Chains A and B, each alone.
Chain A
C-alpha cells in the first residue's frame, strides 16, 4: 500500500480527536522548525482545533489561533509522518474553510480573494495580457488559443505576469516548438487555477475559477493539458475532477510531458558539465507523487553529476512559499527557504533545479542572501540549455 493511499480523512471533528498528539508531525514541520513554539506545531494546532470544534466550541477562535493556522505552507510533511494516518493537508484546508466561513480569516486572505475576483489572476495586471511574456518568441501569435491543438500549456499566473519567471514559459514554449508539438495556450481566457482561494479557505469561490478553466478547455477540444506550476497542476489533477466529470483530459506536469518527449527521442540533449541537485516542489512531489520524471530528465543529460539533498522525495523540505504563507508572514517563509538553502549548499551543486515557479522564486532569494555560488533554474530552462 502506498503512503498516499494510507492518508485518511473523515471530518474535522473526528480527525482532531483521532490525533494522538505523538508529535511526529512536529519533527517534520518546517514552520515549527523556525517558530519553535508548540502552538506552531501541527499537533498543537490540532489540539486547539479539537477544543474548538470537536468539543463543541468550548474554546473561542482567537486571533492567535488563526495566525498559527495561516503559518503553514500546506507542504504535507506532517501528513507523511502522522502515526494515525490523518491527511493533515486536508485537515488544514478544512480548518481554513471553517475559519473563513465564520468570517475570521486573516485580512491578507481577503485581499487575495478580492484581487482574484476582480482580476482573475494573482496580480493587478489585466488578465488579457497573459501572453505578454510570449512577445520574446519568434511568433507570439502562434500561442493564441487554438481549438483542436494536441496539447494546451496552462501557463499559470506567476509565469505569465512575473518578469523574473518569464524565462520558464519561454523555455517551455521553445522546447515544445523544437519538438514539433502541436500546442496552444488559453491566452486571456486562462484564469487563476484557484489554488490561492482553496488555500485561503474560499473553496466556493475557487469553484467558479475551476469551472471557467474547464469550460474553456472543453470549448477548445483539448485532451492533454500540461502545467509548469506545481500548484496549478495539483488543482487540475486533484481538485477539478467534479468539473471534468465525463470529459477525457490527460493532466500532466511539464516534467512528465518533457520526460516523455525525451524518451520518444523528440528532444536531443547535449552535454552539460554541471553538478545539479533537485528540489521537489511539495505539490508535485509529496502531494502528487511525482518524483521520477524530473530526476529522469536531469540524469538523461550527458555530463551532469546529479546529487540529492539531505531531504528529498517524500521527506523533501518545503521552500517556504506554499499555502499563501508569504502573504501572511513573509518572514517565516524566508526563514524556511534559508533552511533549504543550507541543504543546497551542503550538496556542493552548481545548479539547483526545481519544477515550480514559487519554489524557484523562494530559493533564488535565499541563495542570493546566502551568497551561494549556485544557479537556480526551472527544469525546462535546464533542458533548453542542454538542447544548446
Chain B
C-alpha cells in the first residue's frame, strides 16, 4: 500500500489508526489457530494499516480512499469466526468497526430496534431486556458476535427455530458501498436486502440495521437423554411436529457427552447416550403446553429419559460456552455443517467410522435451526504446537465435510478456508448469480477480497482436494494418536 496514503490516514484518524507492526499482527488472525507458515504461503494476512472509524461517515471516507486507489479493505468487528472472514488476504486496509456501536432507536409500536452494526448481541439483549423486550434470535457467540457480523454470515442460531433466520427479521440496513457511497437497503430497493445476507463483508460495510424484536417472555427448559442418534432424531421430529414450536433445540452426540464428562461438566454428570436440550419461550399457556409435549413424549417412548429441570436450566445458562470443550485440547479442529436433520443419524454413524479409521475421538454437537436443518459442529483435539502434525490433521476437516456432503450437508459459512468447497455450498446457477452481484457491486474487487466466490489459486478445488486427501492418507497410515 502506498506509504503516502498510509501516512495521510494516520494523520487524519490519529489514535484511531495504526501502522505499528505490533498492533497490526493481531488483526492477521481470528479464532482459527492456522499456522502462520501455512497462511502466509497462501495469502497476505497482515494489513498495511488498521483504522477504527467512529461512524458511518468515516467508514465511507475510508472506503472512498480505498476505491480511488484500488486498495483492498477487510471489515472486522467481533472476529468470532474461524474462516478468516475478517482477516485480510491481500493486506491493505483493515477497518475495525467496533466503535460503530450503540442503539439508534427503539420503535415499541412497530417492535423493531435500530442498532449500529458493531453492537454485540449480548449488548442488544441487555438493552432490550431492560425494556421488557428481547432479540428474536441470536448467535451462540452472542457475547462477542456483532449484529452486523451475524447478518453477514448465514444468521441462524438460538431462536431461529421459532423466529426464522436473521434475514427474515431485518427490515433494512445501512451500507457503505465499495465506492464509498452510503445506501439504505430494504427488501424493496435494488439491490435488495437478501444480496447482503451471507455476503461476509464482500459487498460493502454494513453500519446499521433495523431488526424486529419480541416481547421478553418466560422460558422453560428441558433436557432429554436418548440411547442413540436414531432415537434422538425420532424425539426431535416429534418435538418439531408438536403444536408449540421450541425457541431453541440443541444436541450433543455420545462422544461429545463423554468428552464433557471427562472434563467434569457434562449435564447431570451423564456419560451415556445422546442429549437434546429444548428451550421454549412464550405465554404461560404455551409453556404449559410445552411441558405436556415433553411429558407425553417421555410417556410414549420409554427410551426418552427426561433430565431434572435444574440441569436443563444450567444447560441454558451455559449456552454460549461450547468452547469449554477446548479444555481437553489444547487445540480443537473441526467442521461446521449445515445438515438436513433426517441425515443426522447416518452422518454421526459415518463420523464414528471415520474416527475409528483415523484413531481419534470425533465429537459432534449442534443446533436444530429450522424444522429441516441443523448446524452441526464436529470437532477433534489437536496440538498446534506440533506444527507438521497439526497441518496434517487439518486434512481431516475436509474428510468431515465429505461425510456431511454425503448426507446433503454443506459448509456453514465460506470465508477463505471453505472457499475450495464453494461448489458444494452453492449450485452453479446460484454461484453464477452471486458472482454477478459481486461484479455489479464491487467491480474493482477491493471489498474483502479472496473470500466467498472463488478460492485463491493455490487453494483451488483440485489442489485442495488432492492435497488434503494425500495428507489424510499420511495421517491414516502414520498418525494414529496424533
Report yes or no: A27 in contact with B327, Cβ–Cβ below 8 A: no
- A14 CB contacts on chain B under 8 angstroms: 330
Residues of A within 8 A of B20 (CB): 64
Q: B144 near A: Cβ within 8 Å?
A: yes
| Known contacts A22-B80, A22-B323: A36-B29 contact under CB 8 Å | no
Contacts of A345 in B (CB 8 A): none
Contact call B31/A20, Cβ cutoff below 8 A: yes
Question: Which of A24, A36, A55, A84 has the most CB atoms of chain B within a 10 A radius of its CB?
Answer: A24
Per the bound structure, the CA–CA distance linking A64 and B26 in Å amounts to: 13
* With contact pairs A62-B22, A83-B321 given, residues A18 and B329 touching in the complex (Cβ less than 8 Å): yes
List, in ascending order, chain B residues with CB within 8 A of A1's CB: 314
Give the interface size class of chain B. Answer: 35 or more
Using CB atoms, name the residue of chain A closest to B15. Answer: A36
Complex CA distance for A54 and B385, rounded to whole angstroms:
7
Q: Which of B22, B79, B120, B323 contacts A64 (CB 8 A)?
A: B22
**Any A CB within 8 A of the CB of B258:** no
Q: Which residues of A contact B331 (CB under 8 A)?
A: 17
**Hey, which chain A residues are within 8 Å of B322, CB to CB?**
83
Contact check, A38 vs B23: say whether CB atoms are below 8 A apart. Answer: yes
CB-CB under 8 A from A56, the residues of chain B are 385
A260 at the interface (CB under 8 A from B): no
CB distance from B130 to the nearest CB of A (A): 9
Contact call A24/B320, Cβ cutoff below 8 A: yes
Mask of B302-327 contacts with A, CB within 8 angstroms, 1/0: 00000000000010000011111011
Beta-carbon contacts under 8 Å, B377-435 to A: 384-385
Instruction: Give B42-70 as 1s and 0s: 1 = Cβ < 8 Å from A's Cβ atoms.
Output: 00000000101000000000000000000
Known: A27-B123, A84-B324, A84-B327. A22 touches B141 (CB 8 A): yes
Q: Is the CB of B26 within 8 A of A47?
A: yes
Whole-angstrom distance between the alpha carbons of A8 and B120 in the complex? 26
Contact of B122 among A8, A27, A65 (CB under 8 A): A27
**Which residue on B lies nearest to A55, using beta carbons?**
B385
Say yes or no: A17 contacts B329, CB within 8 Å. yes
Q: Is A316 an interface residue (CB 8 A)?
A: no
Residues in B neighbouring A38, C-beta threshold 8 A: 23, 26-27, 96
**A36 contact from B52, B320, B323, B327, Cβ within 8 A:** B52
Q: Which of A20, A39, A55 has the most CB of B within 10 A?
A: A20
* 1/0 contact string of A46-88 vs chain B (CB within 8 Å): 0110000011100000101100000000000000010111000
Q: A26's closest neighbor in chain B, by CB? A: B144
- Apart from A20-B323, A23-B143, A38-B23, what 8 extra A-B contacts exist at CB < 8 Å? A8-B327, A17-B329, A17-B330, A22-B141, A22-B143, A22-B144, A28-B143, A47-B29
16 contacts between A and B (CB under 8 A): A17-B331, A18-B327, A18-B330, A22-B143, A23-B79, A36-B52, A36-B96, A38-B23, A38-B27, A39-B23, A39-B26, A48-B26, A64-B22, A83-B320, A83-B323, A85-B321
